[in-house]
């Protein structure tokens, strides 16, 4: 197949980032997420890199490609028929893979038609990717939507370094085996030179699944590569005059009370319901906090066409109404719920103002909100309350680590965080910030790509 001026780095993901806006216009707010910030250093260090993904636009009568730029990176958007989007993205990826990978097997919807659409979409991706790679191109595939892509590329003759990174958890064998195509999924991953995970636990789960399903040791090199952020912009953004105005507005809206902050995509894995129930328990059991603390929960819209997420939004909004109805006063709204997206610059200002940042997923691959909050804090730092089930908990041990299923324990942790003295807060924050700086996005991408080059060399030499 003819190659269109192959790039030395091709990134492939389900969706493309927002490209550069037209001159003279401002970039729109983007959903909370870490892939763009995580990959930015790698893209900047590879001039001429390409990023390929679904265009996200309604499929025209004749599907094609959209083109754009993100700084020096070329963006190529693949059009997908609407019926394939529904079956592949809404059906298989979010109806089967997402719940299973996060350990919610009872939520998984198993449908052979959805699986077939998943394979067709990956075949469409493979045809486009093959036009932009040669034997020297490094191809870096991201996330569970594209498990089959590596095998399809290899079967079509791709010979360059081929890596895969999973941004969500990888489950133990008893959960993965619920999927009728578990063996196929593992064989798809084994086609890559390197398979990366956020934590050692996820990497061990993968190896054990290969042993039990395929009856052998993994052939693909695999390991933990905890994703990071670029901390410097958050420190800078949070200190800007415009940020101070945003922070003052938040403080004014909450009456200068103590502030707990949650920032998430709307998703049942993020533990939003659990953390709000814990806040309700705090107000029940610690009456001294009534009227003196506010909880601001930001939930960026996600998968609005999927019924599970419609129900999740309704449950959260009902819970917020119940808490405010039980405890609210004419001059105090206990919970402020904001169903919208914010830019990273705006979030830095909100992080800085928070006395406590509540990052309590019931299961998460990493969760970069925890690291963004740490990077945005200053001389009077707030406290990070972090779920033990977030990948970030493996690194950020100086946080107040909690079990989101334990409502009483969470309420006690809120009280501890809100009353923590400045010396302890300062010591904890300094240790957390050192880890955030050391485990930056640039280090993450550099480590992965270095190991990928070595793994590909081993394959060629074998």
- Hey, which residues are catalytic here? 167, 364
SS3 content of the chain, % helix, strand, coil (to 5): 50, 15, 35
**What's the number of CA atoms in the CB half-sphere (13 Å) around residue 87?**
17
Cα dist from 324 to 150, 208, 240, 332, 414, whole Å: 50, 47, 33, 9, 18
Q: What is the DSSP string of 307-366?
A: HHHHHHHHHHHHHHHHHHHHH-BTTB-SEEEE-S---HHHHHHHHHH-SEEEE--SSBS-
Contact yes or no for 342/350 (Cβ under 8 A): yes
| Nearest CA-CA partner of 206 in 220, 227, 193 | 220
How far apart are the C-alpha atoms of 392 and 410, rounded to whole Å?
18
- Which three-class secondary structure state does DSSP give residue 33? coil
Q: 109-117: which pairs have CB atoms within 8 A and are 24 or more residues apart?
A: 110/178, 110/179, 110/180, 111/87, 112/180, 113/87, 114/87, 114/88, 115/181, 116/87, 117/83, 117/84, 117/87, 117/88, 117/91, 117/92
Reduced to 3 states, what is the DSSP secondary structure of residue 381?
coil
How crowded is the C-beta side of 63, counted as CA atoms within 13 Å? 19
Instruction: Answer whether 53's CB lies under 8 Å from 122's CB.
Output: no
Burial 246-258 (b: 16+ CB within 10 A, else e): bbeebeeebeeeb
Q: Encode burial over 412-441: b for 16+ CB neighbours within 10 A, e otherwise.
A: bbbbebbebeeeebeebbeebbebbbebbb
330, exposed or middle or buried, with CB in 10 Å at 0-12, 13-18, 19+? exposed
- For residues 266 and 273, the answer to whether their CB atoms sit within 8 Å is no
- Contact by Cβ (8 Å): 117, 92: yes
Distance CA 175, CA 198 (A): 19
Q: Give 419's contacts (C-beta < 8 A, 6+ positions apart).
A: none
Extract the tokens encoding 399.
């946080």
């Amino acid at each position: 197949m003819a190659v269109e001026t192959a790039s030395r780095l091709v990134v492939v993901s389900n969706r493309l980032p927002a490209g550069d806006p037209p001159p003279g216009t401002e970039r729109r707010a983007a959903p909370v997420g870490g892939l763009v910030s995580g990959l930015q250093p790698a893209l900047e260090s590879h001039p001429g890199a390409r990023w390929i993904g679904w265009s996200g636009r309604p499929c025209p009568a004749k599907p094609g490609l959209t083109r754009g730029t993100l700084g020096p990176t070329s963006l190529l958007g693949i059009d997908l028929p609407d019926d394939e989007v529904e079956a592949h993205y809404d059906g298989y990826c979010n109806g089967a893979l997402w719940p299973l990978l996060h350990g919610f097997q009872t939520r998984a919807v198993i449908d052979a038609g959805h699986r077939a659409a998943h394979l067709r979409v990956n075949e469409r991706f493979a045809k486009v990717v093959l036009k932009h790679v040669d034997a020297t191109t490094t191809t870096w595939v991201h996330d569970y939507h594209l498990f089959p892509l590596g095998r399809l590329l290899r079967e079509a003759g791709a010979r360059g370094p081929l890596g895969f990174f999973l941004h969500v958890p990888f489950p133990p064998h008893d959960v993965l085996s619920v999927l009728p195509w578990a063996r196929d999924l593992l064989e798809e991953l084994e086609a890559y030179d390197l398979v990366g995970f956020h934590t050692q636990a996820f990497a061990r789960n993968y190896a054990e699944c290969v042993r039990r399903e395929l009856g052998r040791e993994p052939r693909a090199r695999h390991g933990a590569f905890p994703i990071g952020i670029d901390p410097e912009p958050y420190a800078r953004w949070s200190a800007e005059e415009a940020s101070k105005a945003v922070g003052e507005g938040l403080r004014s809206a909450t009456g200068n009370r103590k502030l707990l902050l949650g920032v998430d995509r709307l998703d049942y894995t993020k533990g939003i319901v659990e953390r709000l129930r814990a806040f309700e328990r705090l107000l029940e059991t610690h009456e001294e906090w009534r009227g003196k603390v506010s909880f601001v929960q930001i939930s960026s819209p996600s998968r609005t066409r999927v019924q599970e997420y419609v129900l999740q939004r309704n449950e959260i909004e009902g819970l917020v109404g119940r808490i405010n109805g039980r405890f609210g006063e004419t001059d105090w709204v206990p919970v402020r719920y904001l169903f919208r997206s914010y830019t990273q610059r705006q979030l830095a200002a909100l992080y800085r103002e928070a006395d406590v940042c509540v990052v309590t997923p019931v299961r998460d691959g990493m969760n970069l909100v925890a690291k963004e909050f740490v990077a945005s804090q200053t001389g009077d730092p707030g406290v990070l309350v972090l779920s033990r089930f977030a990948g970030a908990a493996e690194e950020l041990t100086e946080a107040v680590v909690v079990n989101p299923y334990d409502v009483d324990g969470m309420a006690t942790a809120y009280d501890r965080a809100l009353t923590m003295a400045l010396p302890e807060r300062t010591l904890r924050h300094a240790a957390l910030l050192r880890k955030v700086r050391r485990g930056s996005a640039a280090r993450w991408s550099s480590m992965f790509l270095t190991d990928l080059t070595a793994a590909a060399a081993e394959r060629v030499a074998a």
